[in-house]
Copies of this chain bind each other. A is one copy, B any other.
């Protein structure tokens, strides 16, 4: 994996983002309106472990089922199918079947899916930039736990 890392940019929070964060933080916990809360809803999907990996894998070009499985590597067919279905349902990914000799199915990002990659990518850049700091912090934490 390539390292784009160069120093630690600690990005500022922009005004619209701050407004969003504040409005979320102001909202005091209520489990019942789970479905109402767009943030919870989308966060749950993001938290699906494979979702982001698949979106990223599809970014350069559409891919077929087994191509995806090879690329993501350690995903089971079951999880790949499930995650793709969810993404299709959410309108992030399109599914097209070609009636070739052994049937082939092509998955591609929709405009919506592609648009999600902007904020997701920003998060990944953050992850890459600050991974070293995090790793060091963990080491320090574990060291003093033992003592």
Which A residues are within 8 Å of any B CB, using their own CB?
A: 1-2, 4, 8-14, 16-31, 33, 36-44, 46-49, 52-53, 56-57, 59-60, 70-75, 88-92, 111-112, 114-128, 130-131, 133-134, 136-138, 141-142
A10 to B116, CA, bound (A): 8
Contacting pair A46 B123 (CB below 8 A): yes
Let me know if B125 and A29 touch, CB within 8 A.
no
User: B125 contacts A119, CB within 8 Å?
Assistant: yes
Determine whether the beta carbon of B90 is less than 8 Å from that of A21. no
Number of copies: 2
Complex contact B43–A127 (CB within 8 A): yes
Asked if B111 and A2 sit within 8 Å, CB to CB, the answer is yes
Contact of A19 among B4, B16, B37, B49 (CB under 8 A): B4
Given A42-B127, A124-B24, A125-B119: A29 touches B89 (CB 8 Å cut-off)? no
Inter-subunit contact A53/B43 (CB<8 Å): yes
Q: In the bound complex, do residue A125 and residue B47 qualify as a contact, i.e. CB atoms below 8 Å apart?
A: no
In the complex, which residue of chain B has the Cβ closest to the Cβ of A72? B29
Chain B residues, CB < 8 A from A37: 1
Interchain residue pairs with CB less than 8 A apart (16) = A1-B27, A1-B36, A9-B115, A17-B122, A20-B125, A20-B128, A21-B59, A22-B59, A41-B127, A46-B46, A47-B48, A47-B52, A91-B134, A118-B126, A119-B125, A120-B123
